[in-house]
Amino acid sequence: MAQAFDGKLEKLDHFRWKIPQTYKPGMRVPGLIYASESLLPGILNDKALEQVANVAFLPGIVKYSLAMPDIHWGYGFSIGGVAATDPDNGGVISPGGVGYDINCGVRLVRSDLMLDDLKPRLETLVNSLFNNVPSGVGSSGDIRASAKDEEEIFLKGAMWAVKKGYGVKEDLEFTEDKGAIEGADPSKVSKRAYERGKDQSGTLGSGNHFLEIQVIDEIYDEKKADAFGLFKGQVTMMIHSGSRGLGYQICDDYVKSMVGCLDRYKISVPDRQLACAPVNSPEGRAYLGGMKCAANYAWTNRQCLMHLTRGVFEKVFNKSWSALGLRLVYDVAHNIAKMEKHKVEGKEKLLCVHRKGATRAFPPGHVDLPEQYKQAGQPVIIPGDMGTVSYVLAGAPGAMQETFGSTCHGAGRCLSRSSAIKACHGRQIDKELFNKSGIIIRAKTRGTLAEEAPEAYKDVNEVVDVVHGAGLSVKVARMRPLGVIKG
């Protein structure tokens, strides 16, 4: 049984709780947790808050070790954890602060279809998506990449897919970092990682990854929704996947090699899963170069998945995807470390921002936003579980002031996968959700459905209310699921 948090939290307001720096000798900064009274008991019973305190030991960490309301236990960092380090002050980078599924992320696609347009074709559409979009453990697809192609994917990201005809340039404009983060170094990717990535572009994978058909059932901010091209009754698609086996292998390679950096650089952390190296060290630069390759691969993967999804819609509706209005709203990364400029004590600093199970949430006016979203702020896409609603939010000024431009990334687990399988033993989750809510679900295995059952997750409504109330991001629209593809 994982050790629950045994310290005392200081309540700062309705949404913020502090782990004092005195909780553990060696903490360089306090911990700051975003949660409501109702979410807090579940958080306290998890090992995740111990991890928040442990992250506070990292050299060069700035302001706080942060945790979003969807926080739960992870490798090294909690999932839902955010930390920024200052390279000029010995700041480090930790693979555990990014995670194994590098640039696991989600993209939202809107359409010109209304619910009534979809209903007669919904089951056909879901079945066709399940048959034509590769999913499941170790899945491979028809979009193959040679060694030369793979290197180009590492360097150019989603642009590679667009050049191959798997999308249009407009898609890149509405992808975080335009689908490619600069500084990727293919020489820092192992042969084994190359091998695992060569035939997984355009594959969904397994676990919590999904493709979901939805309908918008609530608009909270008409002006921002209009900027995002969203309206009530509109059919949308959400695609959630990452860098697949390639990203896992890159993380695994560097987690193992970085353990030696703790002694080499005289770094003391309470958990070896927080193995790290100074950002500006050879080891730190090598990991960043490899991680960026995996991030660019993930953006390529989601671009290819969107291309396959558009193709299925074209066949089912006998219209081109552009005639159906299948436009990308935005694509956000969940597991990544980035060099970003943020203000610290009134001075702008270039920091290494770790987001692990957290979403970038830049506010209106930020230089990195597409022109179309400059006044509204960055779209923030928050999936629920396959039986509940999901949300679109917009980045808010509070995120830049408090969380290095970050907010939550989803509902967050409250049951481990093994616990969820036990709780769902003998049940048919797909039939339950169809009978209860009319949601059509297709999955490769019943085990996946049990792992991802709605009761395995926190209430996404409560999680979103916390970040909205705390001023990190603001609610724009809500979607309910109609059909779900799982690996």
Q: Give the pair of three-digit tokens for residue 38.
A: 């109702």
Residues 6+ apart with CB under 8 A from 267: 59, 92, 261, 276
Residue in this structure with the two tokens 């990364």, named with its chain if needed: 333
**What's the count of helices (H) and strands (E) in the chain, helices before strands?**
16, 19
Q: Which residues fall within 8 angstroms of residue 137, CB to CB, at 6 or more apart?
A: 205, 206, 444, 487
What is the pTM for the complete model shown? 0.95
In the set 240, 409, 425, 468, the catalytic residue is 409
Which residue ranges of the chain lie beneath pLDDT 50? 1-2
Q: Which fold has domain 10-486?
A: tRNA-splicing ligase RtcB (3.90.1860)
- Radius of gyration, CA atoms only, the chain: 21
In the chain, where the domains are located:
10-486
Q: What's residue 445's pLDDT?
A: 80
User: So what's the pLDDT on residue 426?
Assistant: 80
Distance, C-alpha 329 to centroid of its chain: 16
Asked about 409 being catalytic, the answer comes back as: yes
CA dist 42 and 416 (Å) reads 13
Residues 6+ apart with CB under 8 A from 98: 251, 291, 335, 336, 337, 354, 355, 356
CA 215 – CA 209 distance, rounded (Å):
19
What does the DSSP assignment read for 160-221? HHHHTTSS-HHHHHTBGGGG--TT--GGGS-HHHHHHHTT-TT---STT-EEEEEEEEEES-
At 22, phi and psi to the nearest 5?
Answer: -80, -5
Contact 361, 380 (CB under 8 A): yes
| pLDDT tens sequence across 466-486 | 999 999 999 999 999 999 998
Of 65, 53, 62, which Cα lies nearest the Cα of 26?
53
Residue 188 backbone phi and psi in degrees, to 5: -95, 10
Q: How many degrees, rounded to 5, is the angle at CA 88 between CA 95 and CA 262? A: 40
Give me the pLDDT at residue 433, please: 86
User: What is the per-residue pLDDT for 141?
Assistant: 64
